[in-house]
Amino acid sequence: MVQGAAPAAVARAAVALADELADAAIAGDRRALARLLTAVENRTPVAEAAMRRLYPMAGRAHLVGITGPPGSGKSTLVAALIAEVRGAGRPVAVVAVDPSSPITGGALLGDRVRMQAYAADDGVFIRSMASRGHAGGLASTSTAAAAVLDAAGFDLILLETVGTGQSEVEVAAAADTTVVLEAPEMGDEVQAIKAGLLEVADLVVVNKGDKPGAQRTAAQLRAMLVATAVRDADPSRPRPKRPEVLITTAATGEGVPALLAALDRHRAAGREGVSAAARLARAEAQVWAIVTDRLRARLHDDANRGRTAATLEAVASHELDPYAAADVLLAGLADPDPE
């Protein structure tokens, strides 16, 4: 970006670079694709301009979310899925998220360790992302990154979340199909009937199937998850999903062909019956994240920084309650009259 250039010139330069990178990425240039993903992660004007071009081309890929507790085998399962998918000759992209440090902002992105066998294969593209303070299991820009990979022609996109606990359900809004991994002996039947992560699963996978207890864990999950009442259900009320429960041993590939088949079945079923509500929910999640970002940016811009800081100080010292503070800040944006 040119220092000191007029904003209009900067914007034109961003659009020109975005067009160049987008055309190249669509034509198969992996370096251009990687640079676009960086722009998306950093929320640059280039990313915005590129999105205008790429978003209409996206929406074709199957987005599969892979989530589960730390160490349950998400990366190993993703690697096993890559092998299976490449065996069928289909291109596949991975967005693998690891947490950013809440203290330093740094991150250790270690998911590639399990996926390095595909360096020479142009049909595989793997990108690590740091969560950068976003708390839902993905980075705030993961959905946009997936849209770029989708537009670049990847037919299957695996979104691997950070290691999750019980309630990081955001991936379900980002993905067409959500796979929740469990490790054997991680909990009893009461864990399986708690609300949260397991509820958003389209497929539940008990990984490390060669470990003792895998069969029993799967049986418990099946009993509890499938026991959802459907008879006499009021169709106007939201109903939990009834996920299939599979067993895999990702390290050996056992059960992975069945998992890919289940993913493909879910995709085919979704093609016919994906509810407009689910698509709207994804659109809302994306737009809402951007609205929030832009609000925050405006509250810290030159015109508003002073009032924002003063209002936060007033809340910190308990002179103003947080609700009133939010009203003050929103009113200030609506009426951009300097103090």
Nearer to other proteins, 31 or 60 (CB): 31
CA distances from 11 to 15, 17, 301 (A): 6, 10, 18
Q: In this structure, what are the phi and psi dihedrals at residue 157, rounded to the nearest 5 degrees? A: -125, 120
Contact segment (CB under 8 A) with other proteins among 104-112, 206-214, 260-268, 310-318 equals: 104-112
How many angstroms separate the CA atoms of 306 and 309, rounded? 5
Nearer to other proteins, 64 or 125 (CB): 125
Contact segment (CB under 8 A) with other proteins among 106-114, 151-159, 175-183, 290-298 equals: 106-114
Our finding on whether 44 is near other proteins (CB under 8 A) is yes
Contact segment (CB under 8 A) with other proteins among 64-72, 99-107, 251-259, 288-296 equals: 99-107
Report whether 154 contacts 92 (CB < 8 A): yes
**Residues 114-133 vs other proteins: string with x where CB under 8 A?**
--x--xx----xxxx-x---
Our finding on whether 2 is near other proteins (CB under 8 A) is no
Our finding on whether 105 is near other proteins (CB under 8 A) is yes
Query: What is the phi-psi region of residue 214: left when phi exceeds 0, alpha when psi lies from -120 to 50, beta otherwise?
Result: alpha
Our finding on whether 38 is near other proteins (CB under 8 A) is yes
Selected from 101, 166, 215, 292, the binder of other proteins by CB under 8 A is 101
How many angstroms separate the CA atoms of 160 and 83, rounded? 16
Q: What is the DSSP string of 242-290?
A: --EEEE-BTTTTBTHHHHHHHHHHHHHHHHHH--HHHHHHHHHHHHHHH
Selected from 46, 201, 204, 260, the binder of other proteins by CB under 8 A is 46
Please state the separation of Cα 296 from the chain's center in Å: 21
Tell which residue, 213, 237, 257, has the closest CA to residue 77.
Answer: 257
Our finding on whether 104 is near other proteins (CB under 8 A) is yes
State in angstroms the smallest separation of the CB of 58 from other proteins: 19
Query: What is the phi-psi region of residue 318: left when phi exceeds 0, alpha when psi lies from -120 to 50, beta otherwise?
Result: left
State in angstroms the smallest separation of the CB of 143 from other proteins: 19
Nearer to other proteins, 39 or 64 (CB): 39
Q: Which residues of the chain form contacts with other proteins (CB under 8 A)?
A: 1, 17, 30-31, 34-35, 37-39, 41-42, 44, 46, 100-101, 104-110, 112-113, 116, 119-120, 125-128, 130
